[in-house]
Amino acid sequence: MTAPPGPSGRTAPTRADPELAPTFAVPPAVLDTLGPPVRPAGVVLGADPDGEPVTVTLVRAAPTRVVVLGGLYLARQVVLRAAGTGMRAVVVTGRPPAWEAVRRAAVPAGDAPTADHPDAPVRVVAEPPADLAVPGGAPLLVVHDRGATTRGSSPARRPRQTTLVVLPSLVPAVSDLADDADLVLLQRMPPHEAELAGRLWRLTPSMIESLRTLPDRGVVVLGRNLWRRVDLVTGPRETAILGPVRRGD
């Protein structure tokens, strides 16, 4: 994903993958009414510094990888909103209780499938199930929650599947995985991680400083020729499920 730097390092990009890059769509005020009708607009991520809404298109024909570097709150919010657009999700995690609220919230009223039921809108499993690659099946979001560990092999890429890798921190052991992503969502980093991010993605000093000083609600969306600052926003219904917007889990 690394782009050649400009004269003073990486500069604010002007071009990005039109299918994946954040776009402007619906106002954040409608977050509590998300449903299948808004699917073409993508998944609402938050608002830019001017208050304009930003969405990310996760459903693509090509295999896609997104990396979340930060707290579990952000990853759960993305999955909950993806499910709200009609996208199915499978969460591979060693901490199922952390995902239970998202799984239950995605279940239609009157249904009660188990956490690993194949037809559940959001499945929560300990290992990737064998039935992930279904020819002609619906687009799928496969979440690999690394939890408190950064160890593990890189998830496979498959057509019509978007892989979301949740990493608690940026360390050299996962730098290749992060750099191979089509899109990276970055939250506030300690100084040594921000410096590593700067070297990995050829960021300018001001970008590195931004990563060190982001507020709890702050996220940087990073892609090829893309750097965009976003603030997480939520509505009462989401807050009841996930709690208040925060940097941590």
Write down the pLDDT at residue 129.
80
What pLDDT score does 12 carry?
38
Report the 10 Å Cβ neighbour count for 107.
15
Q: Look at residue 220 and tell me if it is in a domain.
A: yes
Residue 161 · residue 142 · CB < 8 Å: yes
Residues written for the chain: 249
Q: Could you tell me if residue 7 is inside a domain?
A: no
pLDDT by 10s per residue, the chain, length 249: 654 343 333 333 333 454 555 443 434 444 443 333 334 458 889 999 899 889 888 877 788 899 999 989 999 999 999 998 888 899 999 999 999 999 999 887 666 666 667 778 899 998 888 767 555 666 789 999 987 554 555 566 677 789 999 999 999 988 999 999 999 999 999 999 999 999 999 999 999 999 999 999 999 999 988 999 999 998 899 999 999 988 887
Report the pLDDT value the prediction gives residue 151, as an integer from 0 to 100.
54
* 75 in any annotated domain: yes
> Does residue 9 lie within any of the structural domains?
no
In a domain, 12, yes or no: no
User: Does 209 map to a domain?
Assistant: yes
Domain-located, residue 19: no
Q: What is the pLDDT of residue 40?
A: 45
Whole-number pLDDT of residue 29: 46
Beta strand pairing call for 161-167 and 140-145: parallel
Range of the domain at 154: 28-241
Strands across the sheet containing 226-231: 53-56, 43-47, 226-231, 218-223, 183-186, 64-69, 161-167, 140-145, 88-92, 122-125
DSSP string, 4-51: --BBTBS-------TTTS-B--S-GGGGGG--GGGGGG-EEEEE-TTS
pLDDT of residue 138: 67
58-88 residues labelled b (16+ CB within 10 A) or e (exposed): bbbeeebbbbbbbbbbbbbbbbbbbbbbbbb
The SS3 of residue 111 is: coil
Report pLDDT for 23. Answer: 43
Please name the residues in contact with 173: beta carbons below 8 A apart, sequence gap of 6 or more: 150, 151
Bridge partners (DSSP) listed for residue 23 = 55
Query: How many independent structural domains does the chain possess?
Result: 1
Q: Are 233 and 27 in contact (CB under 8 A)?
A: no
197: CATH = 3.40.50.300
Cα-trace Rg, the chain: 17
Find the helix packing angle between 191-201 and 205-213, rounded to 10°. 140
Say how far apart CA 90 and CA 228 lie, in whole Å.
28
pLDDT at 19: 53
Instruction: Read off the tokens for 65.
Output: 């990888």
Is residue 81 domain-resident?
Answer: yes
